[in-house]
Structure 1
Amino acid sequence: MALQRRLVLGLVAVGSLLAVYILCVNLEKPGSWSVAPLRHFHGFSSSSSSSGSGDSEDPRERWTPPPPITTTSPPELGGPESRSESRSESRSESRSESDGLDGTRTPTRGPTVQLQQEPTRAPGPTEPPFIGDNYRSVEDPPQTDCHNGIRTHVTETEFGGRFLKHIPVLQSARDVSPEQHRRLSRYPGTHGWGALDYDTLQDTLSVLNSSANWRMLDDWEQRSSGSECSSCAVVGNGGILKDSGKGPEIDGHHYVFRTNGAILKGFEQDVGSRTTHYTFSTNTMMNSMRSYGGAGYRGPPQSEETRYVFLPDHDRDYLLMKAAATRTVVQSGKERGKDPTKYFGEDVSAEKLKMYHPDFIRYIRNRFLRSHTLNTKYKNIYRPSTGAAMLLAALHSCDQVSAYGFMTPDYKNYSDHYYDNKYHPVGFFINHDLRMEMNLWQQLHKAGLINLYMHQRTEDETGHESQIGPGQGDRL
C-alpha cells in the first residue's frame, strides 16, 4: 500500500509540473487582447469633405479618427519642436516599411506585444501628431536685392528662432506628388490635404504651373522702378481706419494686400483704392457677399494688377480655383455651375491666381499663433484668421510691411469695420484667437518687423499726452 501511495503522489506531482509548463507556454503567445500600436490614431479628420473653418462658421463639428497614413518626412528644420516631430515621424516610418500606397498596412508577421513599446525618447518637449511642426523647404532665389529687409532683420529679434526663410508660402503644380499627398493628408482643413483626394488635387494644381503662381510678388521686375526693397501695405477691415486719412499712404506702397469684405468705393481717403493681392477662402468670400452687401460689398476687387490668393479651407476652394484658371464653370460641389468671372472679372487667368500652401498655414499656427484652443475639442477647426494669414504671408514675402486696420489693444473704441453705419462690437469665434493675433501684431511692431497703424489720441481725448509704441512711423 505504501508503494502504491508513493506512485500516486509521484504521478500527481508530474501532472502538476506538466500543467504549469503548458500554462507558461500559452502565456508567452500573443492573445486577442493585444492593443493596436498608437500610430493608428494620428490626428483627426472631418467627417465631411466640406468641413473646415470659415470666418463665421458654426464650430460644432463632429470628427472621426482617420485610417493610418504613411508619411515621408521633409528635411529636418531648426527648433526643438521641429526636431521632436522629426523623431516622432521617423519612428512611425521605421514601423511602416510594408505600408501600401493607400495607407493600409500589410503585416508580414503576426502582431506581438513587444511592438507596442515605444523607443526611449530623448529629453525635451513632445508634440501631438496633429501639430505637424515639420515642413517642406524650397530654395527659390530672393526676388529683390534688399539688404535691410525683414529677412535680414528678423534674425536679430525674438522671432529669429521660429522664422523659416525657406517655408513655401504658396502651393502650385510643383508640390503635387503621391508622397506629398500622403504626408499632408494627415492634417485636416487648411493645414493639409486631409479632405482632398489625390485626383482632385492633381487636376486642380496642375494649372498653377508657372513662376507667377508660386511667387507672391510675381511682377516685381516691372514694378520695382529701381527700388531694391519691396514695400507692402496689408489692409484689414477694422473700424480703426474710419476717418484715418491713410488712403494715399496705403496706395503709395508697391503692393496692397486686402481680404474678405474690402469695400473701397466711398472710403478711398481712409483705405486707398488699389488692390494687388486679395486673400479669401470661397466660404469667407460668399459670407462677405451675404453679410456686407448692404454696405456696398459686391465681391473681390477687380483690376489689372489684382492677384487672387485662395486660402483653401475645403475642396470648394480647389474647384473654384480650377474653374477660374480654365475659364469654365465650377464642375461640382456647393458652387457647381457658377461662373468665376462673376467674382474675378473677365480678364482672370491662371497667372493671376495663387493658393496658400498648407505647410505655411500650419507653420504660422504652430509657431506664431499657438492658441490654447489646440488643447480643446475644437483643435481641428482652429486656424489663423484670414487677415492673419495675409499679414504673415506678407511678412514672409515683402521687405517692408505696414499693417492698417488690424486689431489693437483699444479695439473697443472702434466699430468692427470701417464701413459700419453704426457701432458694432468686434465678434469673436472659437475657430480664431483674435486676442492672440492682436498681441502678435504688437510684438512684431515692437520688434520693428512691421509698422502697425495705431490711432494716436490727442491730449484732449485722453487727458494726457499720447504715446505710440516703439517702431511707430519707422520702416525697415
Structure 2
Amino acid sequence: MACQPDDSPLDPINPELVFLGDKYAIDDYMPQTRCPSSIRKKVLQTDFAETFLSSVPVLQWANHFSKAEYERLSHYRGAHGWGSVSIDVLNESLAILNTSANRLMFDDCEKRKIKSQCIRCAVVGNAGILNGSKKGLEIDQNDYVFRTNGAVIKGFEADVGSRTSFYTFSTNTFRNSLRSYARVGYKSAPQSTETRYIFLPDHDRDYILMRAASLHIPITKGKDRSSKPPNYFGSNVTVEKFKMYHPDFIRYLRNRFLHSRRLKSRLRNIYRPSTGAVMLLAALHTCDEVNAYGFMTPDYKKYSDHYYDKVPRRVHFYANHDLQLELNLWQKLHKAGLIKLYMR
C-alpha cells in the first residue's frame, strides 16, 4: 500500500490543501470480473476521467492499519479520517477484519452463478419517487442490491424489491432510522444469507459496534453501552459479514465528486456526502453496471421524502449534506452513461 503523489496534506503553505487532504492510499486493485463494458473502462471516455481514481481503497481492513497510517489519517476527523478514533480502538477493531470477505466487495462472487461477465448492481435509495414505481422485480434481478439506512421492505416489495446484498449505514444513522421509522416497520437491519453490512464510520462508535457484533460481546463503554451483545444483524452473524468504508474513499468522494461550496463556509467541518451518496459512488467504483433507484431527481418536489411515508412529507435538507449538488451529480453520471438513474 502506498500513497498518491499529490501535495502533502500537511503542507503549511496552503491551508485548504491541509484541510482537504487530496492524497490517498493506493490499493493494487484487481477487478473481480473481466467485463468488456465496465464502468472503469467507460469512465476514461467521459468528463470524469480525471476525477475517477480506481486505485483508492473503497474498503478498509486489517492490513490498512499501521502507526504511520494512523499518524497520516488522524489529521482528518469524522468520516474523512481516523482523527475521531483512538489508536487502541482502531487497532483492536480493524484487526478482526482480516479475511478476503472483509477486503473484497463481492466476496461471494465466485460462488454465485452470475449470468454474464459483468456484475450488475441495483442501488436503492429511499426517495418517494419509488412509491408506485413497480420496480421491485427489476431491482431483484440485478446480481447485487445495495440499500441504506431506513430501508423498509415489507409491504413495498413490488416497488423496491425484497433482496439486500449490501446494507450501508453508520451507527448514528442506523439508530436514528430505528427511532424514526419503527412506525412503518423498520425494526432491524435487513437480514438474509446474502446480506453484508458496510459501516460508514465517522466515530469510534462504529468501530466499537462492529467489533462487538462480530465477536458477540457486549459494548462496555460509550454511548451505546449494553449488557448484552448487539443483535441488530441477527444472532448468527459472523465477522465475514462486515465491511467498512475506508476514510480515504469518503474524503476522495467529498474532494473530487461532491466538492461543495460548504467547504469554504463555516459548515466545512461537518459537511460530508450523504450515506446514500457514499453507497451509490461505492457501487460506481466496484460494480460493472449500476442501476440507481430512489435517488433525488429534478422533479423531487412531486414526491414525498420517502417511499414509505404514510403522510406526504417535503424533502428535508440538512446542513451536513449538499443534496442539490448530489442531485446534479446523479444527472451528470446518468448522461455520461456511467449509471442508469430511474426517473419518471
Which category describes the TM-score, using the shorter chain as reference length? Answer: over 0.9
Distance (whole Å) between structure 1 residues aligned to residue 227 and residue 288 of structure 2: 38
Q: Deviations over 1:286-316 (max 9, x none)?
A: 0011111111111210111100000001110
Tell me which amino acid in the other structure corresponds to 1:254: D
Tell me which amino acid in the other structure corresponds to 1:198: I
User: Which residue is equivalent to 1:309?
Assistant: 198
User: Which residue is equivalent to 1:404?
Assistant: 293
Q: Give 1:413 deviation, angstroms.
A: 0.1
Distance (whole Å) between structure 2 residues aligned to residue 146 and residue 238 of structure 1: 30
Distance (whole Å) between structure 1 residues aligned to residue 228 and residue 174 of structure 2: 14
Q: Does 1:273 align with 2:159?
A: no
Larger deviation, residues 127-136 vs 254-263: 127-136
User: Which residue is equivalent to 1:353?
Assistant: 242
Contact kept? 2:201, 2:244, Cα under 8 Å: yes
Q: Does 1:74 align with 2:3?
A: yes
Alignment CA distance shift 1:190-1:136 (3 Å): same
TM-score normalised according to structure 2 size: 0.97
Q: Does 1:221 align with 2:150?
A: no
What is the 5 A alignment of 1:44-59?
none
TM-score normalised according to structure 1 size: 0.70
Contact kept? 1:224, 1:230, Cα under 8 Å: no
User: Which residue is equivalent to 2:327?
Assistant: 438
Distance (whole Å) between structure 2 residues aligned to residue 299 and residue 158 of structure 1: 40
Runs of 4+ in 1 over 4 A off after TM superposition: 338-341
User: Which residue is equivalent to 1:425?
Assistant: 314
Given candidates 133, 136, 141, the residue that maps to 1:244 is: 133
Contact kept? 1:237, 1:418, Cα under 8 Å: yes
Q: Deviations over 1:246-265 (max 9, x none)?
A: 00000000100000000000
3-state SS of 1:374 partner = helix
Tell me which amino acid in the other structure corresponds to 2:275: T
Contact kept? 2:212, 2:230, Cα under 8 Å: no
User: Which residue is equivalent to 1:258?
Assistant: 147
Distance (whole Å) between structure 1 residues aligned to residue 128 and residue 62 of structure 2: 39
Tell me which amino acid in the other structure corresponds to 2:72: R
User: Which residue is equivalent to 1:61?
Assistant: none
Q: Does 1:368 align with 2:297?
A: no
Q: Deviations over 1:35-58 (max 9, x none)?
A: xxxxxxxxxxxxxxxxxxxxxxxx
User: Which residue is equivalent to 1:47?
Assistant: none
Q: Which runs of 5+ in 2 are unaligned?
A: none
Distance (whole Å) between structure 2 residues aligned to residue 259 and residue 431 of structure 1: 17
Contact kept? 1:138, 1:166, Cα under 8 Å: yes
Q: Does 1:235 align with 2:124?
A: yes
Q: Give 1:75 deviation, angstroms.
A: 3.7
Q: Give 1:447 deviation, angstroms.
A: 0.2
Q: Does 1:335 align with 2:264?
A: no
Q: Deviations over 1:51-87 (max 9, x none)?
A: xxxxxxxxxxxxxxxxxxxxxx8241xxxxxx3x23x
Contact kept? 1:341, 1:348, Cα under 8 Å: no
Distance (whole Å) between structure 2 residues aligned to residue 74 and residue 377 of structure 1: 29
User: Which residue is equivalent to 2:275?
Assistant: 386
Q: Which runs of 5+ in 1 are unaligned?
A: 1-72, 77-82, 93-117, 119-124, 456-476
Larger deviation, residues 320-329 vs 400-409: 320-329
Tell me which amino acid in the other structure corresponds to 2:301: K
User: Which residue is equivalent to 2:70?
Assistant: 181
Alignment CA distance shift 1:302-1:363 (3 Å): same
Alignment CA distance shift 1:339-1:311 (3 Å): farther
Alignment CA distance shift 1:451-1:340 (3 Å): farther
Q: Which has the larger radius of gyration?
A: 1
Tell me which amino acid in the other structure corresponds to 1:74: C
Distance (whole Å) between structure 2 residues aligned to residue 321 and residue 370 of structure 1: 29
Q: Give 1:452 deviation, angstroms.
A: 0.1
Distance (whole Å) between structure 1 residues aligned to residue 182 and residue 220 of structure 2: 26
3-state SS of 1:354 partner = strand
Given candidates 82, 97, 100, the residue that maps to 1:211 is: 100
Q: Give 1:319 deviation, angstroms.
A: 0.3
Contact kept? 2:209, 2:230, Cα under 8 Å: no
Larger deviation, residues 350-359 vs 211-220: 211-220
Distance (whole Å) between structure 1 residues aligned to residue 185 and residue 127 of structure 2: 16
Q: Give 1:223 deviation, angstroms.
A: 1.6
Q: Give 1:339 deviation, angstroms.
A: 4.3
Distance (whole Å) between structure 1 residues aligned to residue 134 and residue 263 of structure 2: 39
Distance (whole Å) between structure 2 residues aligned to residue 126 and residue 311 of structure 1: 27
3-state SS of 1:265 partner = coil
Q: Give 1:402 deviation, angstroms.
A: 0.3
Q: Give 1:129 deviation, angstroms.
A: 0.7
Contact kept? 1:323, 1:331, Cα under 8 Å: no
